[in-house]
Structure 1
Amino acid sequence: MLKRFVPWIALVAGVAMLTFVVALYATPGLLMRAAVGRLADRGGVNRMAHAPLATAEARTIVRPSPDLAYSSCPFDLADGAVTVTVMPVDAPYWSLSVYDSQTDAVFVRNDREMRGEPVRIAIARQGQTIPAGYVPVWVDGRRGVALLRILVPNAAAFPGIDAARKASSCQVATPS
């Protein structure tokens, strides 16, 4: 009797394993595609958008920290490399992270590493030209997100931090 069910059990187990593997490999790309789309709705692609301080209702992607100011650049490398410049901000801490199309963090720098110097990177795929003066950040996929996070120690400090972070930029690289 049990022999009749062995092929069915094997089939169900095989389909379950195949579904698991497909979900495991497809999920990061789907999540990043959704994140880039939601961020692009706020400020466009290949442009730095500066979000207001988070509230309990703020849920563009994940639960934001209320003591961080977020600026984001959803990028698309279809038209060439994208340059990101982050000017130092007078805050207790700030960092720039770049996430590729599979949600992997491919670049991270913070204020302590930069020691008062700006971050100047060019996000690109192999074969794309990097402008002079920019550190290359190579990615495999075409789309992703550059995310600037700045610690806001108190509400009174936010206007100054907000003005300073708006000096940061993100754009398609112009040929040198």
Structure 2
Amino acid sequence: MIRRLASLAVFVAAALGSYYGTLATAPYGLMWLAEAKLAKSGPVNHFTHTPPVRAERQFVVRPSPDLLYSVCPYDLTAGPLEVTAVPVPGRYSSISVFDARTDVAFVRNDEQMGGEPMRVVLALEGQQTPAGIDTVRVRYATGIVLQRVLLADPSEAAAIDPIRSRARCRTLTG
């Protein structure tokens, strides 16, 4: 009887360890896969502005066809990253920052921007940032900045592209 209980205890401990190990590591693995896939579409610390989503051109799992996406995979090891974005008048738009663990570190939408360009710096703890700019401290050096712009009709993409292409990610050095 004691032998069976000991075997059951070992089995339960192994199952719980596996379960919690998966919960702890899966977000990092998923973000690593997303960053690797996005790195093929453009350089790190720069926005890539994609055309409207179609089934054969999906870079996000289950993307919305009524949104235009711009992505900036980032790496803060060389220094903080300045992110700028311009809201598109009359359209919902947002900037979201996801860290290496897939946690949302920052979100700002067009309403919060008040029609004005947004400028924010992403930095690790201890990295110097310029005075007078909102700073978002992130826990991990890598992640993804995602800009979304809502379309009323896919044909609007060409007219909106010049505005959303003014979004920038750039490493601040020195």
> If the TM-score is normalised by the length of the shorter chain, which range does it land in?
over 0.9
| Counterparts of 1:34 and 1:154, CA distance in 2 | 31
- The aligned residue for residue 124 of structure 1 is 123
Query: Which deviates more, 62-71 or 159-168?
Result: 159-168
Q: 1:159 maps to which residue?
A: 158
3-state SS of the aligned residue for 1:138? strand
Shift of 1:133: 4.1
Residues 131, 174 of structure 1: 8 Å contact kept:
no
User: 1:144 aligns to what?
Assistant: 143
Secondary structure of the structure 1 residue equivalent to 2:169: strand
Q: Is the 8 A contact 1:96 1:149 kept in 2?
A: yes
The reply on whether 1:112 has 2:111 as its aligned counterpart is yes
**CA distance, structure 2, for counterparts of residue 161 and residue 132 of structure 1:** 32
Q: Is the Cα contact below 8 Å between 1:96 and 1:148 reproduced in 2?
A: yes
Tell me, in whole angstroms, the C-alpha distance in 1 between the residues paired with 2:109 and 2:87: 9
Partner in structure 1 of residue 3 of structure 2: 4
**Aligned-partner residue type, residue 7 of structure 1:** A
Q: Is the 8 A contact 2:78 2:173 kept in 1?
A: no
* 1:42 aligned counterpart, secondary structure: coil
CA distance in 2, matches of 1:174, 1:117: 26
What is the RMSD computed on CA atoms of the aligned residues? 1.3
Deviations 1:27-83 (A, max 9, x none): 111111111111111111001011111012233231110000000110001100011
Identity %: 40
More off after superposition, 59-68 vs 144-153: 59-68
Counterpart code for 1:57: E
Give the structure 1 partner of residue 34 of structure 2. 35
Structure 2 match to 1:61: 60
Do the aligned residues in 2 keep the contact of 1:91 with 1:152 (CA within 8 Å)? no
CA distance in 1, matches of 2:168, 2:132: 15
Structure 1: gaps (5+ residues): none
Aligned equivalents of 1:105 and 1:112: distance in 2? 19
Aligned length: 174
Q: Partner residue of 2:79?
A: 80
TM, length-normalised to structure 1: 0.93
Residue by residue over 1:98-122, the C-alpha shift from the partner in whole angstroms, topping out at 9 and shown as x without a partner, is: 1111111111110111111111011
Query: Shift of residue 90 of structure 1?
Result: 2.5
**Any runs of at least 4 consecutive aligned residues in structure 1 with deviations exceeding 3 A, and if so which?**
none
Per-residue deviation, 1:91: 4.2
**Matching residue's letter, 1:75:** Y
1:71 is aligned with what amino acid?
Answer: S
